[in-house]
Amino acid sequence: KKRAGILGTGSYLPDNILTNAELEKMVDTSDEWITTRTGIKERRIADKSVTTSFMATAAAKKALEDSGIAADEIDLIIVATVVPDMNFPSTACMVQANIGAKNAAAFDIEVGCSGFIYGLSIAQQFICNGFYKKILVIAADTLSKITNWKDRNTCVLFGDGAGAAVIGEVEGAYGILNTYIGADGEGGKHLFMPSSVSVIPPDEITDKDNFYTIHMDGQEIFKFAVKIINTASDEILKKCGLKPEDIDMFIPHQANIRIIEASMKRLKLSKEKVYINLDKYGNMSAASIIVALDEVNRNGMIKRNDNILMVAFGAGLTWGSVIIKW
Ligand code: ACO
């Protein structure tokens, strides 16, 4: 049976750093509050000229280079984002043009922070049934552009970034062992951005600060996250016939250190087996997990045969988990 695996990874982070100290000057907050409640110290913020498609393209080029695959070998490009450059064409089509992947189909998926895991799950189906040979899965978000910078409840949490992976057929026991994805539309009201011309015509929008920005009930999302990270871990371990002690590297969605620590404790995973970069980047939405995977890959923190567990949750509400044998 064919198995899909990761052939290469790449990421892109904007240069601009926004520290907690700088946020103290913007809203009524403190480095102490942000650090103890979230674990975040600083985040990257894209310039006006740095769009989601720009970051997605940069990450994609690095993933192609890492995998040794040429752009014209790519059969499909999937971009997970909630901040596309335009409503249409899709950001995936923009990337296709930018990298010259002329043989690729392309589409976006809108799954919030679970986007990379959903993308992997879709790619896995296309590879395993033999329909496609090489797929680029990209996750890119510029949440800074939809952040209400007057709202201390949300503006301290997010950062910008992009990551990409080339997926293709791999040998034997390696690759994506399985994926698990789910959604609960009932919970959608706890995390959303209202902007849509299908709901309110542009000339009727009066409160722009609230229309084009993220709205979040932090406590509801926190409760959901702690619960779903457990369920999604249990489900994928069961599907793969593995136990928590079989996991060599755990890459959870980087939203809040307290959410990560709760799941580490429950899975009884030691610190060395958990990758955390939210102190440097904040919550980069769909990009969080793939940027982290790119870092562990490039820093030599994972080796052949390691079982990598990745778990995400986000707007929708959505969630997803995957185990990869590296
Ligand atoms: N600085 C100082 N005080 C603040 C700040 C801030 N930046 N933000 C909120 N507060 C205040 C609140 O106003 C509140 O004050 P009050 O008691 O006087 O009303 C107090 O701090 C406590 O607020 P809580 O909401 O109870 O704080 P909590 O401990 O729940 O932490 C947080 C808030 C960090 C948002 C937490 O709920 C959380 O992480 N939730 C999950 C968020 C998340 O993961 N979102 C993304 C998931 S999906 C995606 O990635 C897009």
Q: Are 268 and 274 within 8 A, CB to CB? A: no
* Band of pLDDT at residue 211, cut at 50, 70 and 90: confident
Q: Are 103 and 74 within 8 A, CB to CB? A: yes
- Average pLDDT of span 130-143: 97
- Cβ of 256 less than 6 Å from ligand 1: yes
Report which protein residue has its CA nearest ligand 1's atom 44.
255
- 253 catalytic? Reply is yes
Q: Give 153 Cα–ligand 1 centroid separation in angstroms.
A: 5
* pLDDT tens sequence across 2-54: 799 999 999 999 999 999 999 999 999 999 999 999 999 999 999 999 999 99
Checking if the pLDDT of 1 tops 80, the result is no
Contacting residues for 88 by C-beta, under 8 A, at least 6 apart: none
* pLDDT tens sequence across 148-188: 999 999 999 999 999 999 999 998 789 999 999 999 999 99
- Cβ of 139 less than 6 Å from ligand 1: no
- 283 catalytic? Reply is yes
* pLDDT tens sequence across 56-98: 999 999 999 999 999 999 999 999 999 999 999 999 999 999 9
> Residue 208 has what pLDDT?
80
Checking if the pLDDT of 203 tops 90, the result is no
- Give, in order, the Cα–Cα distances in Å from 156 to each of 23, 26, 150, 206, 276: 7, 10, 10, 25, 17
* pLDDT tens sequence across 102-129: 999 999 999 999 999 999 999 999 999 9
Report which protein residue has its CA nearest ligand 1's atom 13.
153
> Residue 237 has what pLDDT?
98
250: β partners: 274, 309
Selecting among 148, 178, 256, 283, the annotated active-site residue is 283
- 155 catalytic? Reply is no
- Cβ of 225 less than 6 Å from ligand 1: yes
Would you tell me how many other CB atoms lie within 10 Å of the CB of residue 265? 9
Selecting among 20, 93, 113, 240, the annotated active-site residue is 113
Checking if the pLDDT of 99 tops 80, the result is yes
- Average pLDDT of span 220-248: 97
Report which protein residue has its CA nearest ligand 1's atom 3.
29
* pLDDT tens sequence across 238-288: 999 999 999 999 999 999 999 999 999 999 999 999 999 999 999 999 999
- Cβ of 239 less than 6 Å from ligand 1: no
> Residue 207 has what pLDDT?
83
* Prediction ipTM score: 0.93
Report which protein residue has its CA nearest ligand 1's atom 2.
29
- Cβ of 192 less than 6 Å from ligand 1: no
Q: Are 232 and 313 within 8 A, CB to CB? A: yes
Selecting among 155, 178, 253, 307, the annotated active-site residue is 253
Please identify which residue in the block is written with the tokens 């892109």: 12
- Average pLDDT of span 189-217: 87
